[in-house]
Amino acid sequence: PDYISSHVLPLLLGSLETGDFNCRHGALHAIGDICVGLKDRLDQISDDLIYKMNYTLSVLESRGSFRGSGGDEMRGAVCYYIEKISNAGVKLTSETIKVWQEFLNVCIVNPEQFVGVQALSVEALRGFSWQYYTESNPEMWSHIVEHYISQLRHEFTATRVGSALALSVLPGCVLSQDTKSLLKLLTPCTKVQNKSETSLAECRVSAVKAITNVQLVCPCNSEMRAQIYRVLLECLEDYSTDSRGDIGSYVREAAMSCLMKCNKFTLSKGHPTINLTLHEILNNNWYGVPATECGEDRQNQTGGTGSTSSSGPL
């Protein structure tokens, strides 16, 4: 650990300023992984190196790392770097937190970039927000929820998906500003509003994950929990199709998986069953809906696993 922090890290941070794209890309991954490995020994990393870690994004931008055909690859590497730095708990300045949040915002909602970058940026946001957004610094995150909510009905599918996924990973201190309004805005996103939205199954899946996250991280009363269950159960009736086939199966599978999470959470917290029993879920929303050829096995497998693991044998 001493050698890594005193020799290897300075070398890797210096390599971010080279003209070799592959070297910069690999260095970001290595620095992030090293910080996670040194998570319990961050005091061994000098203040100068911590300072350089804070401003890696500025260094990469000055080298034109995000331009051209390799820009998406470098964005993905930066998202990985942010995730690992966050998991390690490296101390960041308020300026760095703001700059990195803006970077993640762009990666999450930009419809023109490679889809893999969006997935990496959402995972980075998960670690970043849970580590650096606390109730003691609301000025850092007070605008975040409004930003993503405003993108939920965007004309580009990728932007809708990214915004909903972002809401599905944010911590409770961020989402609890107005939980009731958030549920009201997310609920329509889980349904087909008109024919033009039939094929947007990915958007509905993301919204299902987001509304489940509200149940898991926010203080919800019995009415809110009932609403969340009702939305998830209604999603099990999504049998929409397009040229790809039964795309509603993606929504049903996500809903069943989220029901499993909600059941486990509700039981672990000792909440009332809100008039929903396992038998009602199975009879009315699993076996009661005629299965289709596409996605039948996957949905039933998810439902069986979820119901038995969350509530035990019948």
- Residue 314 contacts by C-beta under 8 Å, 6 or more apart in sequence? 278, 279, 308
Measured distance CA(204)–CA(275) in Å, rounded: 26
- pLDDT, average across residues 73-97: 95
Kindly report the pTM of this predicted structure: 0.84
When pLDDT is cut at 50, 70 and 90, the band that residue 129 belongs to is very high
Which residue, among 27, 32, 25, 34, has the nearest Cα to 2 in the 3D structure? 34
Beta bridge partners of 242: 245
């350089």: which residue's tokens? 52
Count other Cβ atoms within 10 Å, centred on residue 228: 23
Amino acid at the residue 207: A
pLDDT in tens, 140-151: 787 888 889 988
pLDDT exceeds 90 at position 252: yes
pLDDT in tens, 165-204: 999 999 998 888 888 889 999 999 999 888 878 888 999 9
- On the CB side of 69, CA atoms within 13 Å amount to 0
Which segments of the chain are extended strands (E)? none
Measured distance CA(225)–CA(244) in Å, rounded: 34
- Residue 13 contacts by C-beta under 8 Å, 6 or more apart in sequence? 27, 31, 49, 52, 53, 56
What is the chain's length?
A: 314
Q: Which sign does the torsion angle of CA 186, 188, 192, 194 carry?
A: negative
């899946």: which residue's tokens? 205
Helix (H, G, I), strand (E, B) or coil at 103: helix
